[in-house]
Chain A
Amino acid sequence: MNESRSALRGQLLVGGAIVAALALAISYLAAGGASYTPAKTQDPCQDRPWSNPQGLGEIANQFTTSALDGAACKLGVSREVLARALTTPEARERFAERYGIDDEKLARAIRAGLLRAVDDAEDAGALSPLLAGPVRSTVERIPLEQAIELIQDGRSLLGNVQGFLGPAEELLEEFLP
């Protein structure tokens, strides 16, 4: 009797341990334990839809994102890696060394990225065809350092266009939604 009771206690202990262990693992899994990971970054070669930007600031923001995507796609790196590489000359040097990308290749990629951003802005109706042409012409001619400035802040590109066209900012805003 005593032996069977102690055997029963042993079985209960093992059974309880199994239940407790499974309950913990299953509840953590159900709460998202398997997917608690850093967010995956998007492939820069895929389209990133524009979200109905309002005003110059928002257009410039999405323009920058599209341009970085386009340039990163051309270079075969992520948009995030490229964005960090363009923050300082030292970061750019490290990037160039790590990925074997010279200034010429980088300039070509950034110009391509800026052109993609102009296309995206035009497709989204954020930039009128009247402005898109001069912007493309500007982008195709600019040197690397200036291209980096433009990719970092689309507003300066739109400001350049404004200067190129001559009219006041109010006129530019009229072309923008």
Chain B
Amino acid sequence: MAAEAPRPRVAALALAVGLVLADSSIVVLALPEIYRELDTSIAGVTWVLISFNLVMALAAVPAALLARRVGPGRAAAVGLAVFAGASLACGVATELSTLILARCIQALGGAVAVTAALELLPATVGSERRAATVWASAGATGAALGPAVGGILTELVSWQSIFLIQVPVALAAAVPILAVARHEAATKVLEPELRRTGRPHLAANLALAMVSAAIAAALFLLVLLLIEGWRMTPIGAAIVVTVMPLAALLGSRLDNHVPSARARAAAGAILVSGGLAGLGLLPKATVLLTLPPQILIGLGLALVLSALTETALSGRSPQAIHGGWTISARHAGVVIGLLALTPIFTADIAEQRQDAIDAGTAVILDSKANPLLKISLAQKVEERLDGEEGKVPTIDPAFEPLPEDPGERDEVVQLRDELQDQLDRAATHAFSPSFLLGALLGLLALLPIGLARRVDL
């Protein structure tokens, strides 16, 4: 079956893996838009991300077993069709509950397609090692590009377009795989081999989960900081976070120069943690200062994810099932990261918001503006706060229209800038504990990496 048309098939399989794994992060930049449009809470909208990753984590290994039972070609084709149908449902969803349900079904189809792809790849590319490389690279590329693509689509079209565009892409990826499915129909397929399957590589998968939790923190929190905290547009935030996949591309080139998987995994985990620590210690609310941390995280994620996936799959058979374990570990890590960090960050943002408002009011009260102007500004600020309960408010409208008198106008503009500075400080500081906790998770991954010394990491 490999000899018929390997190139389109390899491309289709890589596309399928990249597409599905991009979905674990593609909605990150759309979350603020979904959050506003579906009138939900930050904790609620997080489930658009969590539900997909949770189902992927739970379904990956059973999906791999299913793929081996019914035939990977058929499983991949059906998985992609389910994924496409669920993507359509996501795109037309008007309620959060419908969207989350569709995301769960999308993850089920995706889990089957991704694990089946790993089962199909060795025969298509000629070796298990090469198959693992293609599979891991496609997944990493999809996950890294996901946020930027999602951000651009959200800004240029709508958040719904992120899902709708996946329908034809998933169906296009399924077409070359149908030939394999037809071939399977005429041959005997493999029985599930759970008992004959070796144990998963515990240390590598545990480290994968921890690092994935840290990376989820980096992506999710950075995007929220840029859009909700610093009021950037989704496309602006998409451009900013593109630094991470670009650095990841650079990091993947180091793979060939350093053969030791343990060294690459350790260096990657340290870089991810260092980058997260940098984001947790930002000295100013400036996009430029997010770039060095993003570069470290991008380099680190390329090193650590490929090293750990390679280790988890190395010498283990069947590949689909061990690939399923890595998918399961990675997505479980994302879920743990989001579940652990979201409550911390939402509580911090509420507290910091209040501190910022008080600091901003102090700025107004201590200014030399006349008392009646101060009271009028304080009143408008209070109204803005009422209008954006629980969120970091946009303060500019409270200062509109600006006074016509040039002296008073300068005074008001200065007050507005000082108040905005206090809000920026508050928003940035609110994310710090979560970023630092993410850094700690990344460092904790060094434990399984170190403990695995005597195994084969």
Contact = CB atoms under 8 A, between A and B. Distances in A.
The B interface is mostly helix, strand or loop, or mixed, namely helix
A33 interface: yes
Nearest to B367: A61
Interface string B243-272: 000000000001001111011101110110
Interface string A17-59: 1101110110011011110111111100000000000000110
B270 A78 contact: no
Among all A-B residue pairs, the 8 with the closest Cβ atoms = A21-B274, A10-B263, A33-B281, A87-B379, A31-B283, A80-B361, A10-B260, A17-B267
A11 interface: yes
B428 A36 contact: yes
Contact of A87 (B280, B363, B366, B375): B375
Contacts of A25: 274, 277-278, 281
Nearest to B368: A61
Contact of A16 (B267, B355, B357): B267
B356 A6 contact: no
Contacts of A60: 370-371
Contacts of B278: 24-25, 28
Contacts of B356: 38
B273 A21 contact: yes
Given A7-B260, A28-B289, A84-B357, 7 more contacts: A17-B271, A37-B426, A37-B429, A38-B359, A80-B357, A83-B378, A91-B379
Nearest to B372: A153
Interface stretch (B125-133, B292-300, B323-331): B292-300
Interface in A87-130: 87-88, 91
A6 B366 contact: no
Interface residues of B, number: 56
A58 B368 contact: yes
A88 B292 CA distance: 46
A33 B375 contact: no
Interface residues of A, number: 49
B429 A21 contact: no
Contact of A83 (B262, B285, B359, B361): B361
A61 B370 contact: yes
B425 interface: yes
B110 interface: no
Contacts of B284: 31-32, 36
B371 A64 contact: yes
A34 to B, nearest CB: 7
A21 B277 contact: yes
Contacts of B422: 38-39
Nearest to A28: B281
Contact of B381 (A6, A13, A84, A86): A84
Contacts of A87: 375, 378-379, 382
A68 interface: yes
